[in-house]
Amino acid sequence: DSQAALLELHELEMRFGGITALRGLTYEVPANIIQAVIGPNGAGKTTLFHCISGLLRPTSGRIVFEGREIDGMLPNRITRRGISRTFQHVALFRSMTVLENVMLGRHPRTHRGFLSTGLRLPGMRSEERRIRKDAEEYLEFVGLSDARGLPAGSLPLGKQKILEIARALATEPSLVLLDEPAGGLNMKETEELGELIRRIRTRGVTVLLVEHDMNLVMEISDRILVLHYGQRLASGTPDEVKDHPAVIEAYLGGE
Ligand code: ATP
């Protein structure tokens, strides 16, 4: 359709020495959808997330977000532009409280330069209160209010993964990248996670999802991109992808 894409990948290439993790990947993600990225181990999914979030600089090609090129930008700047992410292996401040972890997510965008210069501006206290209040709202949104005072590291894995999502949302992204959010979760936790991801989209945040749990992917995704050796093997709605001959071949047959 004619809707402008939120995120555009143009001929994206990422090489590590002799290994090509992404090879000429071109793809568009429209706003306000849940876009899954699936593919076998080593297909390039995590590399793609690293490129979009600025942890890796693509070897060649372009990444355009909201009409502007972001490839080669530092991760902090990309976050300020409106992209945040979670990691496959949770990356929280374990001894800090649940609330403090979300408050940290809140800082980069609200304080811009002045925290880093060490200036204490008048109004800082009220700013601090506002950050706390916002963080509490994000905890409420993800259902972790009761745990706000506990050390993040004391939560069960399922809740730590949800906390990571809250922290990512606290930067007020328009695009959030979730890297295997269901990894290590039981069935009930996975179901709740699916619900949460849907509610994130309802709030107008576009979700890019790397996930191995195919039931979850098929249930919540609006569109799926199938990567294979760093290239697009297929893309479309869950039904289109499920019935795609190349996908069936790659996953089920073809030795
Ligand atoms: P998984 O499902 O196992 O997480 P993936 O689809 O996320 O896999 P990537 O982790 O992106 O795949 O890896 C793609 C390819 O790039 C693999 O062959 C991997 O070994 C290689 N690769 C990734 N990062 C590096 C690196 N820093 N140095 C060298 N090779 C790398």
Residue 248 has a pLDDT of 79
| 189-208 confidence digits (pLDDT tens) | 999 999 999 999 999 999 99
Cα 103 from chain centroid (whole Å): 18
Best probe residue, ligand 1, of 15, 20, 38, 45 (max atoms within 8 Å of C-beta): 45
- Atom number of ligand 1 nearest to Cα 180: 4
| 130-170 confidence digits (pLDDT tens) | 889 999 999 999 999 999 999 999 999 999 999 999 999 99
Task: For residue 13, list its beta bridge partners.
Answer: 60
| 163-187 confidence digits (pLDDT tens) | 999 999 999 999 999 999 999 899 9
Kindly state the DSSP code that residue 88 receives in the 8-state scheme.
S
Helices (H), the chain: 45-53, 75-81, 98-111, 124-142, 157-169, 187-202, 214-220, 238-242, 245-252
Whether 73 contacts 51, CB under 8 Å: no
Q: Pick the residue whose CA is nearest to atom 31 on ligand 1.
A: 16
Whether 217 contacts 41, CB under 8 Å: no
pLDDT bracket for residue 250 (50, 70, 90): confident
Residue 114 has a pLDDT of 41
Mean pLDDT for the stretch of residues 213-232:
95
Inter-CA distances, 137 with 53, 98, 177, Å: 25, 13, 21
Q: Pick the residue whose CA is nearest to atom 27 on ligand 1.
A: 16
d(CA 102, CA 136): 8
ipTM: 0.96
d(CA 12, CA 120): 43
**13: Cβ contacts below 8 Å, ≥ 6 apart:** 20, 22, 23, 24, 25, 58, 59, 60, 61
d(CA 120, CA 205): 32
Mean pLDDT for the stretch of residues 233-249:
89
Evaluate: CB of 42 within 6 angstroms of ligand 1.
yes
Cα(110) to ligand 1 centroid in Å equals: 34
Chain length of the chain: 255
In 3D space, the residue among 95, 92, 116, 114 whose CA is nearest the CA of residue 104 turns out to be 92
Residue 213 has a pLDDT of 93
